[in-house]
A = this chain, B = another copy of it.
Amino acid sequence: MKNNIFPFPLDTSFLDKAIQNAGVDLNIISIRELTRLVDELSLHHGIDFFRFEFGIPGLKAERIGPEEEIRVLTNDEMLPSTYPPFDGIPRLKKAAALFVKKFLNIEVFPENCIPTIGAMQGGFISQAIAGRRREGYDTILYLDPGFPVNKLQTKFLGLKAESVDLYDYRGTKLLNRLDQIFSSRKIGGLLWSSPNNPTWTCLKEKELEGIGNLLTEYDVIGIEDSAYLGMDFRVNYGIPGEPPFQPTVSRYTDNYFIIISSSKIFSYAGQRVALTVISPGLMDRRYPNLKRYYNTDILGRAFIHGGIYPTTAGVPQTPQHALAALFEAACNGKYDFLKKACKYGERARRAKEIFLSHGFNLLYDDDFGEPIADGFYFTIFRGKMTGGELLYQMLLFGIAGIPLRITGTVREGVRICVSLLNENQFDELKKRVSALDEFLG
């Protein structure tokens, strides 16, 4: 932070004008619109903001990935002249199956491991399959709050979305609610992330067991977004092949896709490479309705040849090698990726402390009886302010974050992402939050 004098609160007139010019409502502003607004404020006032709105990695990529890509690109025999296989390069498929064994303790085959262009493509095609398998079962049910772009995917695909809020439903209550909604016979897929974006709640093994049973009973596909795999830092999930293992629904049902992103766990967002694991029990299953969209009724083929092929014709070659090398290094213990990612937990702990000691509260504070863990995100609220009202005041003190309404909850608050916080910024954060606290009274 470069400013010497303390210029907060900022002048409201410029903010008001900027909001008006952009035609946005802070309660439902999208991340992208917010980013533009914060850029504008930052530039106008000559102030660095705390960019808590970005859900992006704040750590540097390990050299393992780039080195591997360089190795391949240097080799004239491996020039990327021709198309990658649509279902991924064999080396990555093999490394992925091993990674899943070592860190989730489930048995899948290389053929079940499908590289995708980021978790984004994995989620997109997973929904396109889950929501189109059976006529009428065209709704994706979300365990909310969640990542807003997943809902944009649902919309792109012309599917419908429904929501269950984890604030109201956990444990048996959650299972009963799912049972009730599934029995409406409209749900094709159930999508969640655990740890959860934006609240950092983590589903318990018992909940996943119940969810798995229901997925099987109603033939709904669970889409388990493991973007933050192993990042519940209350537990060390980081020793390959040793318990405890990351909780996963895949232990309890054949009806799952698991989406593993390299963006957060490996800080490799820039090369857009991820993995979808298709349950071995789902791979060869036939659903005649798929033929309407993918020229095949076999689920695994529909995913690969009806999904990956017509959207991107596969995943770039050298990032696949990078991801393979990262998986390999994680499996053989040479790269303790969770030890590195632990920094996010430490940043969250310290940032929470600052907010909580200055009149803010955690919104999603309860993780099924335990305090919420420290991780990538947390959610705050203040009194009866809406998310947009709170964000407005925060912006006057050089702090951004995303209002929760866009994540699918009716509760009012703001998501804070700590990934970009640096050691030398906590004092400044404390000063601003404390001044904001005084200002709000």
Interface, chain A (partner B; CB < 8 A): 30, 32, 56-57, 59-61, 65-66, 69-70, 73-74, 76, 79-84, 117-118, 120-121, 124, 128, 149, 152-153, 155-156, 158, 263, 267-273, 292-295, 305-307, 309-319
Contact = CB atoms under 8 A, between A and B. Distances in A.
Contact of A318 (B69, B152, B292): B69
A293 B149 CA distance: 12
A66 B81 contact: no
A375 to B, nearest CB: 18
Given A312-B121, A314-B272, A152 B295 contact: yes
Contacts of A319: 316
A83 B269 contact: yes
Contacts of A153: 310-311
8 contacts: A80-B269, A81-B268, A83-B269, A124-B310, A149-B310, A152-B309, A156-B310, A318-B318
Q: When A and B form their complex, which 5 residue pairs have the shortest distance between CB atoms, in order from nearest?
A: A80-B270, A117-B312, A66-B73, A270-B317, A120-B313
Query: Does more than half of chain A's interface fall in helix, strand or loop, or is it mixed?
Result: helix
Nearest to A305: B32
A310 B120 contact: yes
A118 B152 contact: no
A318 to B, nearest CB: 7
Contacts of A65: 80
Given A69-B318, A156-B306, A270-B317, 6 more contacts: A56-B83, A60-B79, A66-B79, A80-B269, A152-B294, A272-B313
A152 B306 contact: yes
A155 B294 contact: yes
A158 B312 contact: no
Given A117-B117, A294-B155, A268 B80 contact: yes
A234 B152 CA distance: 46
A290 to B, nearest CB: 11
Contacts of A121: 311-312
B267 A81 contact: yes
Nearest to A127: B310
Nearest to A77: B60
Nearest to A267: B81
A66 B272 CA distance: 18
A222 B124 CA distance: 26
Contacts of A80: 61, 65-66, 268-271
A81 B57 contact: yes
B310 A270 contact: no
A292 B158 CA distance: 8
A270 B117 contact: no
B82 A269 contact: yes
